[in-house]
Amino acid sequence: MSSGYSSLEEDAEDFFFTARTSFFRRAPQGKPRSGQQDVEKEKETHSYLSKEEIKEKVHKYNLAVTDKLKMTLNSNGIYTGFIKVQMELCKPPQTSNSGKLSPSSNGCMNTLHISSTNTVGEVIEALLKKFLVTESPAKFALYKRCHREDQVYACKLSDREHPLYLRLVAGPRTDTLSFVLREHEIGEWEAFSLPELQNFLRILDKEEDEQLQNLKRRYTAYRHKLEEALREVWKPD
């Protein structure tokens, strides 16, 4: 199975992985963090596009396609097409065949054939299944990388967003919009194992005890000096 790009003229069984399709509409997520207004705008537009508007956008998209990866609109208003996802992983994940994802697969561009109803969560699952990754999909996130006004920014997509819709709105050019698979950004302590965290607690307890002993010694010394000064003051002539 190839992890790179291939045209539709080649055997799709060997080069494309189709995410499972769900025909149930998801409820929209809450408003994203500041700086992601464009994502929210696209999600709102997605909720109100008519079949005619979708048909027009699919037609314009296909006219702009240069790599034969066109979209297909079905009679029920659901459309299918292709997205490309780049792997940007800090460390190779566990797999069921060789134990680790091949380093050559990291950084490569993967082409997935999906439906407009497929969510970000389903796309992540499809990518992990393609590379036989055994780690939980919850450890990974799909990012949207945009190029606007000579600036590049990336934002994490929620699991219920629809990547193919984002692709349709942005057009086929990957220099305008691209998708990246990364590990979740985790907190400082989440990166450590349970034994490591327990060891940190033991170290903290030891340091706390040492600090308490130092404080006791300091105030004991102060007490002795104060008592000595008092004895000098009240010493009878």
Q: Are residues 111 and 222 in the same domain?
A: no
Identify the three-state secondary structure at position 139: helix
Q: Report how many domains make up the chain.
A: 2
Q: Are residues 134 and 153 in the same domain?
A: yes
Q: Are residues 227 and 133 in the same domain?
A: no
Q: Are residues 81 and 172 in the same domain?
A: yes
Task: For residue range 34-70, list pLDDT tens digits in order.
Answer: 444 544 444 444 556 788 999 999 999 999 999 889 9
Q: Are residues 118 and 197 in the same domain?
A: no
Q: Are residues 65 and 157 in the same domain?
A: yes
Q: Are residues 135 and 80 in the same domain?
A: yes
In angstroms, how far is CA 163 from the centroid of its own chain? 13
Q: Are residues 208 and 117 in the same domain?
A: no
Domain for residue 212, yes or no? yes
Q: Of 76-80, 133-137, 158-162, 176-180, where does mean pLDDT reach its minimum?
A: 133-137
- Look up tokens 């919009």; give the residue: 177
The predicted model gives 10-14 an average pLDDT of 36
Cα separations in angstroms, 92 against 21, 103, 142, 152, 183 = 28, 7, 16, 26, 10
Residue 220 half-sphere exposure toward CB, CA atoms < 13 A: 6
Task: Give the domain range for residue 166.
Answer: 51-90+105-185
pLDDT band at 97; cut points 50, 70, 90: low
Q: Of 152-156, 183-187, 188-192, where does mean pLDDT reach its minimum?
A: 188-192
Domain for residue 138, yes or no? yes
Closest by Cα among 60, 178, 161 to 117: 161
Contact 69, 111 (CB under 8 A): yes
